[in-house]
Structure 1
Amino acid sequence: MKNVIIKWNQVSLVKRILIGIIIGIILALTIPTATSWVTILGSLFIGSLKAVAPLLVLFLVMSAVSKHKSGQKTNMKSIIGLYGLSTFLAALVAVVVSFIFPITLSLTEGVKDVTPPDGIVEVLKTLLFNVVDNPIHALLNANYIGILAWALLLGIALRTASDSTKNVLTNFSDAISQLVKWVINLAPIGIMGLVYDSIVTSGLSTLLSYGKLLAVLIGCMFIIAFIVNPIIVFIYTRKNPYPLVLTCIKESGITAFFTRSSAANIPVNMNLCKKLGLNEDTYSVSIPLGATINMAGAAVTISVLTLAAVHTLGIQVDISTALILSVLSAISAAGASGVAGGSLLLIPLACSLFGISNEVAMQVVGVGFIIGVLQDSCETALNSSSDVLFTATAEFAKTRK
């Protein structure tokens, strides 16, 4: 048995995950009644990632900032700029594609048990209040904006601490990183359970009637992932971007697709950054920050579903209004994690730009929940994999100079 485990661990993680996906599909098709014992594997995996991620962020950031020396440069300004550029271009691509392939919806009853934000001010206010959240509350609720704020402040305060204190932080950081490696090693088993659960509970039959809408949504996300983002990377690095792009999608995007949680994928992204040899002082901050504000997939979702409502109601849209929608979608997407329900609940905010009533907008949200199985998976895969992509791009661009 020991030899089997050793040989299994020698196989690359991506290949092991693909094996887990195949086994999950086979189990779902052959023994769909074994729900309880198979799906619990996926739930335990996501639960483990979500449990370790807040502590990982807190101690990694504190340790990195406390050891930071004056004059030592990081790439945070470039990374934040890349996050913003990618999110805006994602919204713009979604608007253009939605005009080329207009979608109309069969609207049903609205979603009554959720409340969208009243405006962009409320979204931004939520983000600001997350910054000053109680640190214990932030850890318990995985509020990464709050965790980052406290980790940065404590790290700055500890820069004058003794070396022994800093070594303790480093030891805690290393210990939690080791825990993360153990959890990630269980990814094939966890993803097997997630695949099984998705096929057994949702299937694909309920998504067939929304095939065209899904095609536009997922098509936009593929354009961002395989055309727009590579162009951005090439402009910054002047090198073939696809080896890096494909590595990020393969080793981060696949896991994010099945966990459907940017927060749960933070440990995976941290591990990938380390594997790529990136600066820990930078990625310990940029990865959790990206999980909060780098939301190209959310910008696509908001733009496409909003324009689907516009086309359904026969509202005419000029170029200037379309550009305003792109900006609004990008800003809203950056605040999506600060609003319960994520990107879907920001659709009424964008719909208000065209005078669409909240009742109709919430019916569009209902459609979003129906297609959420695939939409949210692809959205998370794009968002999370690009966190590593742009962190690496900023560092490689600096070394080129």
Structure 2
Amino acid sequence: MKKLILNWNQISLVKRILVGLIIGIILALTIPANVKWISIFGTLFVDALKAVAPILVLLLVMHAISKHRSGHPTNMKSILILYLVGTFLAGLVGVVASFIFPVSLSLTTGSEDLNPPGGILEVFNSLLHNIVDNPVNALLNANYIGILTWAILIGIALRNASVTTKDALANFSDAISQLVKWIINLAPLGIMGLVFDAIVTSGLSALLDYGKLLFILLGCMFFVALVVNPIIVFICIRKNPYPLVFTCLKDSGLTGFFTRSSAANIPVNMNLCKKLNLDQNTYSISIPLGATINMAGAAVTISVLTLAAVHTLGIPVDFGTALILTVLSAISAAGASGVAGGSLLLIPLACSLFGISNDIAMQVVGVGFIIGVLQDSCETGLNSSTDVLFTATAEYAKRRKEGKEIINA
């Protein structure tokens, strides 16, 4: 048995995930619908990732900040610029696509119990309150803005600590990282359970009525992932961007697709950054930050679904308003929570720009939940893979300027 497990672990994680994916599909198509115990593997996998991610982020960031040497560059400024530019361009892609291929909706219900933010000031207010959240409460509720804030402050306070204290912090950080590796090795079982649950519970029949809308949403996300992001990367590193792009999509986007949570995918991204030999001082901060504010997929979802509501109601849209929507979708996306369906609750905020009532906007949110089986999965895959992509891009650009060799992904 030990030899069998050893041989299994030596196989590429992506190949193992594909095996779990195929088994999940087969089981969903062959086992009666009322037998759902297989889905527990998916639930446990995602819950385990969500459980370990907050403490991982806290310890890694504290450790990175505490040992940071004065004058050692971290590329955070470049990464933040890439996050902002990427999210804005994703929103722009969604707006342009919605004008080229206008969609009308058969509005639905089912989102009456949700409470979307009342305005952009409320989004900012929520972010500010998250920053000063109690650290224990931030850990319990996976408030990554709060966790980052406390980790940075404590890390700064520990910069003058003794070597023994820093070594202990490093040991705890390494221990949690090892736990993450163990959990990630269970990804094939988790993916099997998630796929099984998705097919048995939702099926794909509900998506047929919204095929055109789903096609535009997914088309925009693939366009951003395979055209816009590679152009950004090429401008920065002046090399063929696709090896790095495909590595990020394969190793991060694939698991993000199934976990449907940027927060849950943080450990996966940390592992990928280590595999790419990136600077831990940088990625230990940029990855959890990206899971909070780098939301290209969310910007696409907000802009496309908002303009679908606009076209349905026959509201005229001029260039200036469309540009404002692009900016608003990018800013709103940064406030989207890193959990499944987080971006959908910001659609009423964007709809308010056109005077669309909250009742109608929440019906659009209901449509979003119907197509969420694929929309939210692709959105998370794009968001999460881009976190690593831009972190690596910033470091590779720095290496290029210094004349160092860029390691191909």
TM range (shorter): over 0.9
Report what 1:223 is aligned to.
223
Name 1:51's counterpart in structure 2: 51
> 8 Å contact 2:260–2:339 — kept in the other structure?
no
Aligned AA (2:188):
P
Letter of the 2:382 counterpart? L
Query: C-alpha displacement at 1:108, in angstroms?
Result: 2.8
Residue 158 of structure 1 corresponds to which residue in structure 2?
158
Question: Matches of 1:99 and 1:137 in 2, distance apart?
Answer: 43
- Matched residue, 1:119: 119
Q: What one-letter code is carried by the residue in structure 2 that aligns with 1:29? A: L
Q: Structure 1 residue 101 and structure 2 residue 101: aligned?
A: yes
**In 1, are the aligned partners of 2:117 and 2:123 still within 8 Å (CA)?**
yes
Q: Answer yes or no: is the 8 Å Cα contact 1:221–1:382 preserved in 2.
A: yes
In 2, Cα distance between equivalents of 1:386 and 1:171: 29
Instruction: Report the AA paired with residue 332 of structure 2.
Output: S
Correspondence 1:295 to 2:295: yes
Q: Give the TM-score normalised by structure 2.
A: 0.96
> Separation in 2 of the partners of 1:340 and 1:139?
19
Alpha-carbon distance change, 176 to 255 in structure 1, aligned in 2, over 3 angstroms: same
Deviation at 1:372, TM superposition (A): 1.1
Counterpart in the other structure of 2:281: 281
Q: Deviations over 1:30-89 (max 9, x none)?
A: 113463431110111011101110110000000110000111111000001000000000
The alignment status of 1:19 with 2:19, answered yes or no, reads: yes
Aligned to 2:5: 5
Q: 1:296-315, CA deviations, whole angstroms, 9 ceiling, x for partnerless residues?
A: 00000000000001100111
Question: 1:125-204 counterparts in 2 under 5 A?
Answer: 125-204=125-204
- The match for 1:310 is 310
Between the aligned partners of 1:32 and 1:339, the Cα distance in structure 2 is 30
| Distance (whole Å) between structure 1 residues aligned to residue 139 and residue 391 of structure 2 | 24
**Distance of 1:32 and 1:59 partners within structure 2:** 44
CA distance, structure 1, for counterparts of residue 110 and residue 331 of structure 2: 25
SS at match of 1:306: helix
Shift of 1:107: 1.2
SS of residue paired to 2:38: helix
For structure 1, which segment, 10-19 or 333-342, has the greater mean C-alpha deviation from structure 2 after superposition? 333-342
Range that drifts further, 333-342 or 290-299: 333-342
Give distance in 2, aligned partners of 1:128 and 1:317. Answer: 32
Task: Please identify, of 87-96 and 102-111, the stretch whose mean Cα deviation from structure 2 is larger.
Answer: 102-111
CA-atom RMSD in angstroms: 1.2
- 1:6 is displaced (CA, Å) by 1.3
Distance 2:305 2:183 in 1: 36
1:399 alignment partner in structure 2: 399
Using the size of structure 1 for normalisation, the TM-score is: 0.98
- Cα pair distance change 1:24/1:110, threshold 3 Å: closer
Percent identity over the alignment is: 77
Q: CA deviation at 1:339?
A: 10
2: CA distance, partners of 1:187 / 1:65: 30
Read off the aligned partner of 2:93 and give its amino acid letter. V
**Which amino acid letter does the alignment assign opposite residue 283 of structure 1?**
Y
How many Å separate the matches in 2 of 1:84 and 1:94?
A: 16
Map Cα deviations across residues 252-309 of structure 1 (whole Å, 9 max, x no partner).
Answer: 0000000001111000000000000000000000000000000000000000000001
Whether the 8 Å contact between 2:123 and 2:335 is mirrored in structure 1 is yes
What SS class does the counterpart of residue 344 from structure 1 fall into? helix
What secondary structure sits across from 2:314 in the alignment?
A: coil
| Residue in structure 2 matched with residue 232 of structure 1 by the alignment | 232
1:110 and 1:359 in contact (8 A); partners too: no
Match of 2:346 in 1: 346
> C-alpha distance in 1, partners of 2:120/2:362?
17
Superimposed CA distance per residue, residues 170-226 of structure 1 (whole angstroms, 9 cap, x where no aligned partner): 000000000000000000011000000000000000111000000000000000000
What do the CA deviations read for 1:310-361 (whole angstroms, capped 9, x no partner)? Answer: 1001111111111110000000000111899621111111111111111111
| Structure 2 letter corresponding to 1:350 | A
Secondary structure at 1:35 match in 2 = coil
Q: Check whether the contact 1:56–1:173 (CA below 8 A) recurs between aligned residues.
A: yes
- Retained in 2: the 8 A contact 1:75–1:394? yes
Matches of 2:279 and 2:108 in 1, distance apart? 50
Residue 31 (structure 1) aligns with: 31
Q: Where does 1:248-287 land on structure 2 (aligned, <5 Å)?
A: 248-287=248-287
Shift of 1:5: 1.1
**Partner amino acid, structure 2, of 1:148:** L
CA distance in 2, matches of 1:347, 1:339: 16
- How far apart, CA to CA, are the structure 2 residues paired with 1:110 and 1:175? 44
- Quote the Cα distance in structure 1 between the aligned partners of 2:14 and 2:339: 33
Give 1:332's aligned amino acid.
S
Aligned equivalents of 1:36 and 1:21: distance in 2? 16
Distance 2:254 2:340 in 1: 25
Q: Where do 5+ consecutive residues of structure 1 fail to align? A: none
Structure 2: gaps spanning 5 or more residues: 402-409
Distance in 1 separating the partners of 2:72 and 2:366: 49
Change (3 A) 1:127 1:339: farther
1:111 CA drift (Å): 2.3
Q: Is the 8 A contact 1:63 1:173 kept in 2?
A: yes
Secondary structure of the structure 1 residue equivalent to 2:337? helix
Q: CA separation in 1, counterparts of 2:342 and 2:10?
A: 38
What does residue 81 of structure 1 align with? 81
Q: Please give the alpha-carbon distance, in whole angstroms, between the structure 2 residues aligned to 1:69 and 1:236.
A: 26
SS at match of 1:113: coil
One-letter identity of the residue aligned with 2:80: I
Change (3 A) 1:340 1:352: farther
